[in-house]
Amino acid sequence: MQKYMMSALALAVVSPAAPAQSSLTVYGVADAGLVLEHGGDSGAVQKIGSGVASSSRLGFKGREDLGGGTALTFVLENGYSIDTGATKQNGALFGRQALLCVSGEAGSFSIGRQYTPFYKALNNVADPFATGMAGNTQNIFDGTTRIDNTVEYITPRVAGFAADVQYGFGETAGDSSKSRSIGASGSYEQGALTVVLAHQQRDNPAGTAHSHNTMLAARYRFGAITGHTALARNRDLLGIESRDALLGMTAQFSATDKLLFSLIDHHDKSAAQQHARQAAIGYSHALSRRTDLYAAYGHIRNSNGALFRVGTAADSGSGTTGVNLGVRHVF
């Protein structure tokens, strides 16, 4: 398998000689807001949150055109807390993304720390809140956001169809199944409709069990209204199964004003029946092309000892009710 991957990478790089053109882009997000939470074990919390609507980040993206429609790109992206200046992702220098990618007419092939196909489907298609603010779908939906040591291939889109396949090496001597990750998605886009089927599997460090998540998500635009829906089937490392369902809406009232809404239901199939339901509403107002103000409210009703919490893009949260008021600048 390793020989095949290296051969594919070498073939992707080969192209007719041409003057190479390079570029380097520095980009990021600065996001801060007031976060109010209550309903947790420790009581009400009022705090300044960083990365409420979108995680605050600083990134570097480089690209070199190799000729013949082939390009080499790299992405190095750091997460930080704007309220303290501390790094996120357990202090990793580039904990959000770190990858090299070769792309061309045959698709793209990338290596590094990358978003999973499952997360991309959840963030880009299923969730009206784009996994941010108090309505973050990841408050309820399972699935890993990003994986280390991955190789990924994304096909070109043909007649509306495209596929995304990712493999994460566990890097454990003697047993390749330990801490291994496998992910894939297939999508269809045509006009106002987007549909994606995504799957993710992760093996435990011992290689004796694995969790998996499978989701079907869709988005459809009706003029100024966009409808969102998703159904997911999950099994954790203990073999306990659950189901998640989402119904949401984005309403673009004007060029600057947008309303977000979603309902999520979690059905626990274990004997404990620890079900949960989340309702959330949000609003954003663009001050410019790069800056917006936002507000959101989210509430989770847990049953039979379920412990789901209302979080934000960068924080898992501490209570069952959350209120956000903030500002986001993209640069």
Q: Look up the CATH number of the domain holding residue 238.
A: 2.40.160.10
Residue 6 lies in a domain: no
Average pLDDT (139-164) is 98
Q: What percent of the chain has pLDDT over 70?
A: 94
Token look-up 């103000």 returns: 293
Say which DSSP state 4 is in. Answer: H
Over residues 93-101, the mean pLDDT reads 98
Residue 117 in any domain: the answer is yes
User: 237 pLDDT exceeds 90?
Assistant: yes
pTM of the model as a whole: 0.91
Structural domains counted in the chain: 1
pLDDT above 90 coverage of the chain, percent: 91
Q: What confidence score (pLDDT) does residue 21 get?
A: 86
| CA end-to-end distance (rounded Å), the chain | 40
Report the alpha-carbon distance of residue 216 to residue 229 in Å, rounded.
8
Instruction: Tell me the average pLDDT across 300-306.
Output: 98
**Is pLDDT larger for residue 172 or for residue 192?**
192
For 261-285, how does the pLDDT look when each residue is reduced to its tens digit (9 = 90+)? 999 999 999 999 999 999 999 999 9
Name the β-bridge partners of 147.
114
pLDDT recorded at residue 20: 66
* Residue-level pLDDT at 19: 55
Output Rg (C-alpha) for the chain, integer angstroms: 21
Reading the block at residue 2, the tokens are: 């390793």
For position 173, what pLDDT does the model report? 87
Averaged confidence pLDDT in the chain: 94
Q: Is residue 13 part of a domain?
A: no
Q: Which string of b and e fits 122-155 if b means at least 16 CB within 10 Å?
A: bbbbbbbbbbbbbbbbbbbbbbbbbbbbbbbbbe
Question: What's residue 292's pLDDT?
Answer: 99
In a domain, 116, yes or no: yes
Please return the burial class of 116, using the count of CB atoms within 10 Å of its CB with bins 0-12, 13-18 and 19+: buried
Predicted local distance difference test score (pLDDT) of residue 6:
38
CA quadruple 55, 291, 195, 152: dihedral positive or negative?
A: negative
Domain assignment present for residue 169? The answer is yes
Task: Give the model confidence (pLDDT) of 11-47 as tens digits.
Answer: 444 444 445 689 999 999 999 999 999 999 889 999 9
The 10s digit of each residue's pLDDT in 113-134 is 999 999 999 999 999 999 999 9
Per-residue burial over 184-221, b = 16 or more CB atoms within 10 Å of its CB, e = otherwise: bbbbeeeeeebbbbbbbbbbeeebeebbbbbbebbbee
Q: Inform me whether the pLDDT recorded for 176 exceeds 80.
A: yes
Write down the pLDDT at residue 90: 92
Domain hosting 59: range is 24-330
Can you point out the beta strands (E) in the chain? 21-38, 45-50, 57-67, 70-79, 97-104, 107-115, 146-154, 161-168, 181-190, 193-203, 210-222, 225-235, 241-252, 257-268, 276-286, 291-302, 321-330
3-state DSSP assignment of residue 319: strand
> Measured on CA atoms in the order 232, 238, 239, 241, is the torsion positive or negative?
negative
Task: Say if 31 falls within a structural domain.
Answer: yes
pLDDT at 238 over 90: yes
